[in-house]
Amino acid sequence: MKYSTIVIGDELLIGQVTDTNSGWIARHMAPLGWESQSVRVIADDASEIKRAIDEAFSLTDLVLMTGGLGPTKDDITKATLCSYFGGEMVLNEDVKRNVDEMFARRGIPMNRLTASQAMVPSSCQVIQNEVGTAPIMWFEIDGKVLVSMPGVPVETQTMMERAVIPRLVKHFHSDVDIEYRTFVVIDYAESALAEKLERFEQEMPDYIHLAYLPAQGVIRLRLTGTHSDSKSLNDDMERLSKQLHKLLGKSIIADADKPLSQIVGERLRELGLTLSTAESCTGGNIAHVITEIAGSSDYFMGSVVSYSNDVKHRVLGVDDTVLDTCGAVSQPVVEQMVNGACAVCHTHCAVATSGVAGPGGGTPDKPVGTVWMAAKVGDIVTSKCLHFTGSRAQIIDRATTHALIMLLKLLK
């Protein structure tokens, strides 16, 4: 069964805020058999909102809408929905109580603009927002459903899980099963992987589809199958998964869509090893992606972000003479950094980076994008130099990814 997503907000259209709700919704609807038909991002504008709803209803029976529900004047979604679905704006006592309680808990007085959040179209059923003040509104018309939710990600996401998804499951009945399998693959360029899998793809049943999702040295392969018989779908997915493992061997580093930092963390936990980082050009980003994973304090002890040579020398113990003669972006420096990280943070393993993230600071010898990196596991230290292209942010991201891949290869 398909659904449409409408994302409302001038701030999204103008590119000041990136929509992450639609992706979250898709990831959480898919396992329940709902397939995203399209995502449409539009302005806070009544005629745009009406046109988008008309179009979405022409394609799908379910429309999920986020945004446009705050207390300020640029939010006109509620009035538009009232005019679209009929009825009039009425005070909802439950919403008023919820807003009152929310403000009382935060210890701030409710003002008039916030009070207006308790006004809702009489044509909707209200789902209480347990983590914010803007109500969730459920509309039904001619067997179709539209659910309007706030734009604040934590509110949409919390309330989707707690209330909207359970209600959708009750309301709709899906008779086609969807199954996804994701494999995280290293060692291949996208085109080389496609060539390797050409025959595999030709032999797949036509109700199973393979997609390539490349991102910085890692390719996620996704099998998607839809079938009315869930048993045979599951059997086919199992068979194809095994074939992929046989074809790609150790290049498959995970059987589910997880970030590299989580794959690294799981491996460290299995082996009972601890990790630290010594970061120059990545500026703390490796430590950041590692500590984004819940429970990372079990294996991650800490990091020294040695942005200045002074910190590299004094804190990590990198030799002053080596810094002077070879420069900070060099093999001996990253090797001393990775040893320094293990010594300072008392860990079994470490990764280190030193490079030119740009846009300034490049030289003919070491142009922007040059990154030396090292990984250490026990007594084994490996190091290499990579050359990345792209913006500063992209070079930092890519260096982070490749440092984690380097560590992962040592952990295998």
Residues near 281 by beta carbon (within 8 Å), at least 6 away in sequence: 329, 353, 354, 355, 356, 357, 371, 395, 396, 399
Please name the amino acid found at residue 106.
R
Specify the stretch interacting with its own copies by CB under 8 A; choose among 85-93, 232-240, 330-338, 384-392. Answer: 384-392
Task: Return the number of the residue (174 or 297) whose C-beta is nearest its own copies.
Answer: 297
Enclosing H/E stretch for 58: helix 46-59
Return the range that interacts with its own copies (CB under 8 A); candidates 105-113, 169-177, 232-240, 372-380.
105-113
Among 60, 92, 303, 383, binds its own copies (CB under 8 A): 303
Binding segment for its own copies among 6-14, 61-69, 137-145, 227-235 (CB under 8 A)?
6-14
Residues 192 to 231 in contact with its own copies, rule: CB under 8 A: 192, 194-195, 201, 209-215, 220, 222, 224
Q: Give yes or no for a cis peptide into 214 (omega within 30° of 0).
A: no
Q: Which of 32, 91, 141, 154 binds its own copies (CB under 8 A)?
A: 154
Which x/- pattern, by CB under 8 A, does the window 18-37 give for its own copies?
xxx-xxxxxx--x-----xx
Residue closer to its own copies (CB basis): 41 or 90 = 41
Cβ of 378: how many Cβ atoms within 10 Å?
A: 10
Nearest C-alpha neighbor of 4 from the set 82, 81, 56, 75: 56
List 125, 297, 325, 363, residue binding its own copies (CB under 8 A): 297
Q: Which residue's CB is nearer to its own copies, number 68 or number 121?
A: 68
| In the complex, minimum distance from the CB of residue 123 to its own copies, in angstroms, rounded to a whole number | 25
| 16 forms part of the interface with its own copies (CB under 8 A) | yes
Smallest gap from Cβ 235 to its own copies, in A, equals 23
Among residues 50, 96, 245, 288, the one that binds its own copies under rule CB under 8 A: 288
Please give the order of strands across the beta sheet that includes 208-215.
Answer: 208-215, 218-227, 177-185, 252-254
Work out whether the CA dihedral 223, 226, 230, 232 comes out positive or negative. Answer: negative
Residue 27 CB, nearest approach to its own copies (Å): 4
DSSP structure string for 234-252: HHHHHHHHHHHHHHHGGGE
Strand partners, 275: 300, 349
Binding to its own copies (CB under 8 A) within 333-362 occurs at: 344-346, 357-361
390 near its own copies, judged by CB under 8 A: yes
Nearer to its own copies, 192 or 271 (CB): 192
Out of 291, 327, 362, 410, the only residue in the binding site for its own copies (CB under 8 A) is 291
Count the alpha carbons within 13 Å of 273 in the hemisphere toward its beta carbon. Answer: 22
Applying CB under 8 A, among 88, 101, 161, 190 the residue interacting with its own copies is 190
Q: 335 or 397: whose CB is closer to its own copies?
A: 397
Q: Write down the least CB distance from residue 383 to its own copies, Å.
A: 21
Q: In the complex, what is the shortest distance from the CB of residue 390 to its own copies, in angstroms, rounded to a whole number?
A: 4
User: Across 132-172, where does the E strand assignment appear?
Assistant: 136-141, 144-149
- Joined tokens for residue 238: 């199992």
200: left (phi over 0), alpha (psi -120 to 50) or beta: alpha
Nearer to its own copies by Cβ, of 368 and 408: the residue is 368
Strand partners, 91: 119
Dist. CA 114–CA 105, nearest whole Å: 15
Number of residues that bind its own copies (CB under 8 A): 108
Q: Locate tokens 């059997």: which residue?
A: 235
Please give the residues from 35 up to 74 whose contact with its own copies meets the rule CB under 8 A: 36-44, 48, 52, 55, 70-74
| Helix, coil or strand: residue 6 | strand
Measured from the CB of residue 264, what is the shortest distance to its own copies in angstroms? Answer: 14
Residue 322 contacts residue 333 (beta carbons within 8 Å) = yes
- Cα–Cα distance for residue pair 105/171, rounded to 1 Å: 34
Q: Min. distance of Cβ 94 from its own copies in angstroms?
A: 20
